[in-house]
């Protein structure tokens, strides 16, 4: 059942990835500036230029360029970075681990701390704690990420000297970036967990469980959590895309290598193949996140798989 | 003419009943009051700012907060307070304009998709769902990369980044309303589609869209600040909160106040927008309708 649902969702991804790939291909084609200009030496002739254009296949029609490009993508052949003059696949392979580590840790951090905070504020009816958590949620979802990053650098790196200001050496350099990206996520997950728990608590069956004399702990973990998890998993899956978006800014501020800083640099240098590959990777991650979220939802709630299949 | 006066009347009624009620609570009054004050400050910036925002004084560069420069000066000796005050103009107007464009386009697309359905609806929703799953900063970055940095492209980049949200929400409202008996009755009475859409569906669908638009202005301010921080938004010497922080990064250790105060301005403004938006949602009692989309 769940396998069939997963297969259906995977099939649905085909037209979606096709449209995404066309959009990415087109967007990059619309970028102003010409990478060939960056490659030409001063004083080179129009013939030199035409040769370079032909070498990179930029003289063929758009449709041909698209199919050549997408065909290469399927073979894991991302082409040659025009400005950096290295295989794009190498660049991706070099930068991806940094982004994955950062994103994975930020994801872990925001899901665990967020759920704990959300549960705490929903369960403990303490107005002071509740206000604190709600204030934190508000702050986390409104403060711009790069500003938070700068403040953290200012406080922890400059004033206290605990963590390095920038770079990616050792675990110390991961602490502040993970905190920065995770902060917004913690707030979001906490809010969703809180609302979901409060919603379920109002149900009649919970009153019955209390009346039966079940302890609050047992009610929470065995009966409330399974219900509350549904929206939390959904938001966490969607969060994957947002973590990647946050990583773009945070990698930039902290001067870390990664897909985000690679993308920003390539955008500045008009390095088409790199921009395309980075965007495709990010899009792929976002789609995978949505897929995982949908499948997890269906696994937890039979009503969803019956409705959609 | 008729439809515009109709919309105006709906908006007017909307404003009277909900804004008044949103102001009624304590939080709503503080947040709303702050926003009104901020808009006034932005409008009357030339009379309020103690110094010329572009006046450089290299002899007094990177001065810490004190007298007469209450929030200190930046690396060119420009008054930070005056730049924050003038920055409010840029940030508020860019975000508000962008959201207005986004709302208008999203409502049109969403209403058309929800009302006509069929292939058009599927095409629109596919594109919308695509952009919806992408982080707004990525969409905005790509867009600015295509048409070049500046305030105009920032405005359109923000508008595009939030287009999906308004389209989805409007469509959901229209689809829900289409099933109501009074719409069925109007259709059976032989009303034209344009009449049904503009006089019966839109006035009933508009409230949640406006509230989300209000909240989106806060997100727009953050996005504008981020683009400005990347150096893609306001160009010097135009002050914007994001651009100020961008030039301040180089002096982070020397003069942190250049970064701290514009950031505080962004954070406080966005928090106020969110708190006031929440009060609006409560006053209008539309929480369930927002959740459905």
CB contact under 8 A, B218 and A142: yes
Query: What is the nearest CA distance from B75 to chain A, expressed in angstroms?
Result: 17
pLDDT at B148: 75
pLDDT band at A1 (very low <50, low <70, confident <90, very high): low
Write out chain A residues lying below 8 Å of B232, CB-based.
none
pLDDT at B1: 41
pLDDT band at A180 (very low <50, low <70, confident <90, very high): confident
**pLDDT higher at A237 or A119:** A119
The torsion angles phi and psi of B254, rounded to 5 degrees, stand at: -85, -45
Q: Cα–Cα distance between B233 and B46 in angstroms, integer?
A: 22
Does the bond joining A145 to the residue before it have cis omega, within 30 degrees of 0? Answer: no
**Is B263 at the interface with chain A, CB within 8 A?**
yes
Q: What is the mean pLDDT of residues A12-23?
A: 78
CB contact under 8 A, B263 and A158: no
Of A267, A193, A256, A190, the residue nearest A229 (C-alpha): A193
Task: Report whether pLDDT(B279) > 70.
Answer: yes
Q: Which residues contact A159 (CB under 8 A, 6 or more apart)?
A: none
Q: How many angstroms separate the Cα of A288 from the Cα of each of A10, A241, A283, A293, B94?
A: 10, 9, 9, 8, 34
Helix A259-269 and helix B136-147: axis angle, to 10°?
A: 10
Query: pLDDT of B1-42, one tens digit each?
Result: 445 555 566 666 666 666 667 676 777 788 888 888 988 888
**Is B275 at the interface with chain A, CB within 8 A?**
yes
Cβ atoms of residues A29 and A273 within 8 Å? no
pLDDT band at B97 (very low <50, low <70, confident <90, very high): very high
**Is B252 at the interface with chain A, CB within 8 A?**
yes
Cβ atoms of residues A111 and A228 within 8 Å? no
pLDDT at B17: 61
CA atoms within 13 A on the CB side of B166: 30
Q: Cα–Cα distance between A58 and A35 in angstroms, integer?
A: 11
Write out chain A residues lying below 8 Å of B245, CB-based.
146-147, 150
Task: Report whether pLDDT(B103) > 90.
Answer: yes
DSSP, collapsed to helix, strand or coil, labels residue A80 as: strand
Query: What is the nearest CA distance from A289 to chain B, expressed in angstroms?
Result: 9
B51 burial (CB, 10 Å; 0-12 / 13-18 / 19+) is: middle
Cβ atoms of residues A186 and A110 within 8 Å? yes
DSSP B59: G
Query: pLDDT of A109-154, one tens digit each?
Result: 888 898 888 888 887 777 787 778 778 878 877 888 888 888 888 8
Nearest to A154 among B138, B222, B252 (CB): B252
Task: Report whether pLDDT(B168) > 50.
Answer: yes
Write out chain B residues lying below 8 Å of A150, CB-based.
245, 249, 252, 259, 263
Query: pLDDT of B131-144, one tens digit each?
Result: 777 778 888 887 77
Q: Where are the alpha helices (DSSP H) in chain B?
A: 2-14, 20-24, 26-43, 45-48, 80-116, 118-132, 136-147, 151-161, 163-178, 181-188, 193-195, 202-229, 241-249, 257-284, 287-291
Give how far the C-alpha of residue B263 lies from the chain's centroid of Cα atoms, to the nearest Å.
17
Nearest to B126 among A19, A147, A248 (CB): A19
Cβ atoms of residues B7 and B204 within 8 Å? no
DSSP A87: B
Query: pLDDT of A242-277, one tens digit each?
Result: 777 778 888 888 888 888 888 878 877 777 778 888
**Is A232 at the interface with chain B, CB within 8 A?**
no
Q: What's chain B's average pLDDT?
A: 81
Query: pLDDT of A67-80, one tens digit each?
Result: 887 887 777 777 77
pLDDT band at B102 (very low <50, low <70, confident <90, very high): very high
Task: Report whether pLDDT(B182) > 80.
Answer: yes
Cβ atoms of residues A75 and A262 within 8 Å? no
Q: How many angstroms separate the Cα of A60 from the Cα of each of A27, A72, B83, B254?
A: 17, 16, 50, 52
CB contact under 8 A, A142 and B226: no
The torsion angles phi and psi of B270, rounded to 5 degrees, stand at: -65, -40
pLDDT at A43: 66
Q: What is the mean pLDDT of residues B180-205?
A: 81
CA atoms within 13 A on the CB side of B266: 32
**Is A231 at the interface with chain B, CB within 8 A?**
no
pLDDT at B13: 61
Q: What is the mean pLDDT of residues A174-196?
A: 83
CB contact under 8 A, B138 and A282: yes
């Amino acid at each position: 059942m769940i396998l069939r649902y997963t297969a259906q969702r995977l099939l649905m991804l085909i037209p979606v990835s096709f449209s995404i790939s066309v959009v990415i291909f087109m967007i990059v084609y619309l970028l102003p500036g010409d990478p060939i200009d960056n490659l030409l030496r001063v004083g080179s002739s129009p013939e030199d230029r035409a040769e370079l254009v032909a070498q990179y296949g930029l003289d063929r029609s758009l449709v041909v360029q698209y199919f050549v490009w997408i065909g290469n993508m399927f073979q894991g052949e991302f082409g040659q970075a025009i400005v950096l003059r290295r295989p794009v696949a190498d660049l991706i392979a070099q930068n991806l681990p940094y982004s994955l580590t950062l994103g994975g840790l930020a994801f872990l951090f925001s899901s665990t701390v967020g759920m704990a905070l959300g549960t705490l504020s929903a369960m403990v009816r303490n107005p002071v704690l509740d206000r604190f958590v709600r204030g934190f949620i508000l702050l986390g979802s409104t403060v711009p990420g790069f500003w938070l990053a700068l403040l953290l650098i200012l406080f922890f790196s400059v004033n206290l000297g605990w963590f390095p200001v920038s770079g990616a050496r050792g675990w110390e350099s991961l602490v502040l970036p993970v905190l920065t990206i995770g902060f917004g996520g913690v707030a979001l997950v906490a809010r969703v967990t809180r609302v979901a728990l409060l919603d379920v608590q109002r149900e009649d069956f919970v009153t019955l469980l209390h009346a039966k004399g079940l302890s609050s702990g047992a009610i929470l973990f065995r009966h409330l959590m399974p219900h509350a998890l549904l929206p939390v998993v959904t938001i966490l899956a969607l969060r994957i895309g947002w973590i990647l978006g946050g990583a773009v800014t945070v990698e930039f501020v902290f001067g870390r290598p990664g897909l985000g800083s690679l993308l920003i640099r390539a955008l500045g240098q008009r390095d088409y193949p790199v921009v395309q590959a980075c965007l495709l990777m990010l899009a792929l991650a976002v789609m995978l996140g949505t897929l995982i979220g949908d499948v997890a939802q269906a696994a937890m709630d039979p009503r969803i798989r019956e409705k959609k299949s | 003419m008729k439809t515009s006066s109709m919309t105006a009347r709906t908006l007017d009624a909307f404003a009277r009943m909900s804004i008044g009620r949103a102001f009624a609570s304590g939080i709503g009054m503080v947040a709303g009051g702050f926003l009104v004050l901020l808009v006034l400050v932005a409008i009357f910036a030339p009379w309020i700012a103690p110094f010329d925002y572009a006046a450089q004084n290299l002899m007094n560069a990177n001065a810490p907060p004190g007298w007469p420069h209450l929030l200190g000066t930046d690396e060119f000796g420009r008054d930070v307070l005056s730049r924050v005050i003038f920055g409010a103009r840029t940030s508020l107007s860019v975000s508000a304009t962008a959201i207005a464009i986004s709302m208008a386009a999203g409502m049109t697309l969403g209403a058309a998709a929800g009302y006509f359905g069929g292939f058009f609806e599927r095409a629109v929703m596919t594109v919308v769902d695509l952009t919806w799953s992408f982080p707004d900063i990525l969409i905005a970055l790509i867009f600015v990369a295509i048409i070049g940095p500046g305030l105009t492209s920032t405005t359109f980049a923000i508008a595009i980044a939030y287009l999906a949200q308004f389209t989805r929400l409007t469509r959901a409202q229209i689809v829900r309303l289409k099933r109501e008996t009074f719409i069925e009755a109007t259709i059976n009475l032989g009303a034209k589609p344009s009449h049904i859409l503009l006089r019966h569906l839109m006035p009933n669908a508009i409230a949640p869209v406006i509230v989300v638009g209000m909240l989106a202005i806060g997100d727009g301010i953050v996005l504008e600040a981020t683009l400005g921080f990347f150096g893609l938004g306001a160009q010097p010497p135009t002050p914007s909160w994001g651009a100020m922080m961008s030039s301040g990064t180089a002096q982070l250790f020397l003069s942190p106040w250049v970064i701290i105060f514009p950031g505080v301005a962004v954070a406080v403004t966005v928090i106020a927008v969110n708190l006031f938006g929440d009060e609006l949602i409560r006053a209008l009692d539309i929480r369930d309708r927002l959740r459905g989309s």
